[in-house]
Chains A and B, each alone.
Chain A
């Protein structure tokens, strides 16, 4: 599949196609806003999703992934940028990004510069840490199974 036309105009943009057939464009964080604006101008007018993946072995450990939709062409698009801690906010371009950026901030600790209200959204305000980071422990409670206790059962 050929790259969408707008990709050529964004410096450093690398186009690939995912295993699901969706166009994927990766850029440096400095070009993030430019990429989003170019995508919007290129027909990808609906903002659908924003999430991140934490890979702590890399210096820019968080890969932030936005999913967009072009209603006229019925094409989906994935935009990615890797960062160590911050990215420019997309809220000025798409109001829909507001809660999604708050979620990524809440769960990963990625800061979005220019976000109007970058506060925790899912977790309590006084929660310490960002649980979807790889180094955040998976919480659990010890389960008290009766079968693990001493019993008089004949077996």
Chain B
């Protein structure tokens, strides 16, 4: 029995639909009010960083897909940029622009899943179906390009795995044209919806100072009024050539995070269209044979190509000794791979700076004093992917 002055302890999760994976929250409740909240993580720990050390530099690419299943191309990109920083190699123009296009398509993919699941958590089931319907268009594009809907492994150190298939860019443009009215549709269902506003406005507030002190990044930080986006702050991969604005809101509550992500969807669409329009011709793989193996067609007339191919697949990539960290803006915030090489074919260390890990650390301060029903909205707007939290 709980008497009037006692608090109650309950577990939310690890198997709970609103925790977006296997997140356990130890809650201390006073009635329905949250006195304290302690996230317990690790249920999805797969030792992926240890596995990366045991394999070669290229194998790690396939594991980066699996860290954040909503942002596989963004993870490929962050890892590729870090390895390229070790090599100090140049990437062909077409690959640079194609990477921006792919990174933004994945951001749209991730934010669509977020809009859908967030609405579903708050009881608006239709939006979930609509958003997943549109996401399917993007997954079809990924599948056509890489052979895989989600585990793409398409962006590699030195460029891309391959060029786009014939007609892919036209189909991509058609998908991009179809999306803006669909986003209007979600907005029609949510933005002015009194139930949705009631559940999100003023809920889970995070002040800018707290967000900065807790290492929060991404839409969560921007919704608290901090204008920080790595694509502007530390342009990588040619982002400085594109026109886009950093989407911010000031309230720092769940509704502000919704506004930021919806605005980012539109900005990403515009970035994709700019990238498609600016797509130069030429190769998508660097000609630096230490970074990328030659295409098979070259074996016919080049002994050297054959030797490079052999060395590449027996020894793997051998980046010069050193360390590198290249932060990129993932849909969840600052993502970066710290890589360390000793000059051999295997990494000494690959560590992912996972945005969800830091963002989740801020959950207790957002949840304190809220109702337990609000917690569902807060977890959802933090948008954690437990795969990259637990690694």
Q: A residues engaging B (CB < 8 A)? A: 18-22, 24, 45-49, 51, 53, 55, 65, 67, 71, 74, 76, 78, 94-96, 98-99, 107, 120-124, 131-132, 136, 138-139
Closest to B361 in A: A99
Complex Cα distance A55/B341, Å?
A: 12
Q: Is the CB of A96 within 8 A of B361?
A: yes
B343 to A: closest C-beta gap in Å: 12
- Complex interface: chain A residues within 8 A of B149 (CB): none
Complex Cα distance A78/B82, Å?
A: 15
Closest to A74 in B: B233
- Mostly, the B contact residues are mixed
Q: Name 13 interchain pairs, CB-CB below 8 A, sorted by A.
A: A18-B323, A22-B325, A24-B323, A46-B215, A48-B215, A48-B327, A48-B353, A49-B325, A51-B349, A67-B353, A94-B215, A120-B42, A121-B42
Number of A-B contacts (CB under 8 A): 96
Q: Is the CB of A76 within 8 A of B327?
A: yes
Q: Is the CB of B326 within 8 A of A20?
A: yes
Residues 341 to 391 of chain B near chain A (Cβ within 8 Å): 348-349, 351, 353, 357-358, 361, 390-391
- Complex interface: chain A residues within 8 A of B215 (CB): 46-48, 94, 96
Q: Is the CB of A67 within 8 A of B85?
A: no
Q: Is the CB of B351 within 8 A of A122?
A: no
- Complex interface: chain B residues within 8 A of A121 (CB): 41-42
Closest to B49 in A: A132
**Range of interface residues on B (Cβ < 8 Å):** 35 or more
- Complex interface: chain A residues within 8 A of B358 (CB): 48, 96, 99
Q: Is the CB of A19 within 8 A of B88?
A: yes
Q: Is the CB of A94 within 8 A of B213?
A: yes
Closest to A133 in B: B50
Q: Is the CB of B42 within 8 A of A123?
A: yes
- Complex interface: chain A residues within 8 A of B42 (CB): 120-124
Q: Is the CB of B50 within 8 A of A131?
A: yes
Given A53-B348, A94-B213, A122-B391: A67 in contact with B338 (beta carbons within 8 A): yes
- Complex interface: chain A residues within 8 A of B322 (CB): 18-19
- Complex interface: chain B residues within 8 A of A21 (CB): 85
Closest to B353 in A: A49
Q: Is the CB of A19 within 8 A of B86?
A: yes
